[in-house]
Amino acid sequence: MIHTSKLTKTFTVKKEKIQAVKGVDIDVERGELVAFLGPNGAGKSTTLRMLTTLLAPTSGAARVAGVDVVADPAGVRSRIGYIGQGNGGGHSYRVIDELIMQGRFYGMNTTDARTRAEQLLKSLELEDLKKRTVIKLSGGQRRRMDVALGLMHSPTLLFLDEPSTGMDPQNRANLWEHIMRMRLEHGTTIVLTTHYLEEADTMSERVIVIDHGEIIADNTAGRLKSDLAGDLLAVEVSAAAAAKVRGLLGRAAAAGELEETAYDGVIRFRLRLPDGARLAPGLLKDMNDAGAPALRLELKPPTLDDVFLELTGRSLREGGKV
Amino acid sequence: MQLQQATAAGTAVRKPGLGRILQDTKYVFWREMLLVIRDPFSLIFSLVQPLVFLALFGPLLGAAVGAEAFGGESSLQWFLPGVVVMIALFGTSMTGSNLQYELMTGSYERILATPLSRSSLLIGRALKEWAPLVLQGLVIALASIPFGFVFYPLHVLFGLVVIGVFGIGLGALSYALALVTQGKEWVFWGVQQTLLFPLMILSGIMLPIEAGPRWMQVLSLFNPLTYMVNAERELFAGGLGSDTLWGVVAAVITAVVGLAVGVRVIKRSTL
Ligand SMILES: Nc1ncnc2c1ncn2[C@@H]1O[C@H](COP(=O)(O)OP(=O)(O)OP(=O)(O)O)[C@@H](O)[C@H]1O
Ligand SMILES: [Mg+2]
């Protein structure tokens, strides 16, 4: 459905070159659900804009829905749907009018467009707002309207740039229900970007991690986590026994990295333990045998943030350490 | 939350071509017109303005310049077509300003991502600024009849079409200007105002250019608006001759140049 090679975008602002996207290779098959994950300014929107013909690539090539974006941009546009990062509704327009016009833009007749608009308004819980002007909607309501606009023509390939940003948990769940249903019923191919780690983790099959305009990882969330991060194990022993297990834990830890903090005569070790759930019982037994029984133990499965931290040394979370 | 998909219209790939551009233009125009339809007050104001202008400026003009400057016609017969051109000028040169709002939100981007042809985006928006003119032109023409204005409906209608073609070109240029000055909205207004007034004065809309110095008359020959004003004057007086022909030529050239520039500017950054 999507194939890019060395896709690159360089912006020039006041003679300064900004390399927003640095030669990315992406392949997406029909029916896949792919999430781009990355911090602010990583190049997610820029990549999506190139794939949706809204930006001309500086170099490289991209085929979307079987069509080359540079050779036949109009062909690409008629085969895809796009929900951008900004609000798509015109400020002074009524919600229902914008939806119907959007359908008309894609060649639907007025009756079909109206029926479809009513369906979407209903399922996105915007029914009561259909005669409001866009400027009088709340942020989350506007975002839901954006989603409705993007779904009007039931595209077979849909791009969504941070679709759930600004929505409350209930509406976010509702949005995902929509997306999942579209996949299930119509085999829609979906490419989206998100900041929500849990969202990328639980909803998408495949996560493409992007940072500084480069793809730094591309796999299922499960594989990324098990390959790159491993479970986080925290184990406490008495200060007197610490020396007996330091070597043992160091050998078990990923890359031999062992973190150690002391308080109230207790030493707390923290380490990454790939496949930790399976290995932890054995490790506990070894500690017992060495004469240093664990006083406390915590085992946390890895998150995508751990993956990102592992890859870049930075956290994706708000105010993450650099 | 049962959601059935409607027709998979999005998958129907439409072929480019003139018919397609016309159809897309209709949609873009209609979307713009929804603003007027949902808020008809704006239209009422736009009708009052030219009437006030006509009522206040018309009598002064006759008194100040003297009837012989108008070739013996009533000053109203001479002045009214000028007002029509002026409304068209102000209206269509504002095309880009309405776009500015949509550029600031994601609305313009959303529309750019649809299959609408690029020239239809320009034409549809420009026509929206022109459309009220049809009503405005007819209303001020009718309102002027009691004051000695002779109304030739078919000629006036044709005149409005010609000015519409000119307006497409000017609207497209205004659209392009809004795109180029994106993020610096004041530049748009600066350029628009700086160009508008010399163009207007050098076309003889307000005062006959024949009364001015030679250099102004020469400059006016290079102003497409001059040909528009002359054509409208001929048409509004019930004539159909070389002035009209030149007006049509100037309108078509402006439209072609405007659209060429407009499409280029749209495609400069997007595909
Ligand atoms: N039109 C532009 N002109 C100049 N620089 C730009 C432009 N658009 C984006 N950039 C720059 O390109 C880089 C990538 O931006 P992009 O919008 O793709 O990031 P993103 O991953 O979508 O971030 P976010 O999560 O904040 O939406 C940033 O450094 C940004 O400042
Ligand atoms: Mg972005």
Three-state DSSP class for residue B261: helix
**pLDDT exceeds 70 at position B166:** yes
pLDDT score of A225:
83
* CA dist B39 → A92, A129, A133, B132 (Å): 10, 18, 11, 13
A68, containing H or E segment: strand A67-68
DSSP A186-203: H--EEEEEES-HHHHHHH
| High-pLDDT (> 90) share of chain B, % | 38
What is the C-alpha to C-alpha distance for residues B52 and A201, in angstroms, rounded to an integer?
Answer: 65
pLDDT band of B7, cuts 50, 70, 90: very low
pLDDT score of B5:
40
pLDDT band of A318, cuts 50, 70, 90: low
Which numbered atom of ligand 1 lies nearest the CA of A85?
27
Specify whether the CB–CB gap between A302 and A229 falls below 8 A.
yes
Residues of B in contact with A68 (CB under 8 A): none
Map tokens 């405005």 to a residue. Answer: B136
**pLDDT exceeds 60 at position B37:** yes
pLDDT in tens, B95-134: 888 888 888 888 999 999 999 998 899 889 888 888 888 8
Domain extent listing, chain B: 17-62+71-269
Q: Atom 18 (ligand 1): residue with closest C-alpha?
A: A43
CA of A160 to the centre of ligand 2 (A): 10
pLDDT score of B65:
62
| Burial call B117-138: b when 16+ CB within 10 Å, e when fewer | bbbbbbbbbbbbbbbbbeebbb
Specify whether the CB–CB gap between A192 and A35 falls below 8 A.
yes
pLDDT score of B9:
39
Token reading at A290: 């060495």
pLDDT score of A101:
95
Nearest residue on chain B to A159, judged by CA atoms? B113
pLDDT band of A135, cuts 50, 70, 90: very high
Site from B2, B4, B7 to mutate, A interface, most A CB atoms within 10 angstroms: B7
Three-state DSSP class for residue A9: strand
Instruction: Tell me the β-bridge partners of B149.
Output: none
Nearest of A235, A69, A88 to residue B102 by alpha carbon = A88
DSSP 8-state assignment for residue A31: T
DSSP count for chain A of H helices, then E strands = 11, 15
Mutate to test the pocket of ligand 1, among A7, A17, A18, A22 (most ligand atoms within 8 A of CB): A18
pLDDT score of A185:
84
pLDDT score of B204:
86
pLDDT score of B34:
92
Specify whether the CB–CB gap between A304 and A201 falls below 8 A.
yes
- Other residues' Cβ atoms within 10 Å of the Cβ of residue A318: 6
Q: Which of B 28-47 lie inside 8 A of A, CB atoms?
A: 30-31, 34-35, 38-39
Reported ipTM: the value is: 0.82
Residues of B in contact with A158 (CB under 8 A): none
Give the CA diameter of chain B: 76
Average pLDDT over residues A69-75: 91
Helix axes A110-123, A95-105, angle to 10 degrees: 130
Site from B26, B28, B42, B110 to mutate, A interface, most A CB atoms within 10 angstroms: B110
pLDDT band of B8, cuts 50, 70, 90: very low
Three-state DSSP class for residue A33: strand
**pLDDT exceeds 80 at position A317:** no
Token reading at B98: 């309405």
How many CB pairs below 8 Å do chains A and B form together?
Answer: 142
CA atoms within 13 A on the CB side of A14: 0
Please give the single-letter amino acid code of residue B63: A
**pLDDT exceeds 80 at position A174:** yes
pLDDT score of B4:
39
Residues of B in contact with A83 (CB under 8 A): 110
A216, containing H or E segment: strand A214-220
pLDDT in tens, A27-37: 999 999 999 99
**pLDDT exceeds 70 at position B70:** no
**pLDDT exceeds 90 at position A223:** no
| High-pLDDT (> 70) share of chain A, % | 98
**pLDDT exceeds 50 at position B6:** no
Average pLDDT over residues A1-6: 93
Helices (H), chain A: 44-51, 73-77, 95-105, 110-123, 139-151, 169-186, 197-203, 221-224, 242-252, 276-289, 304-312
**Domains observed in chain A:** 2-225 (3.40.50.300), 231-301 (3.30.70.260)
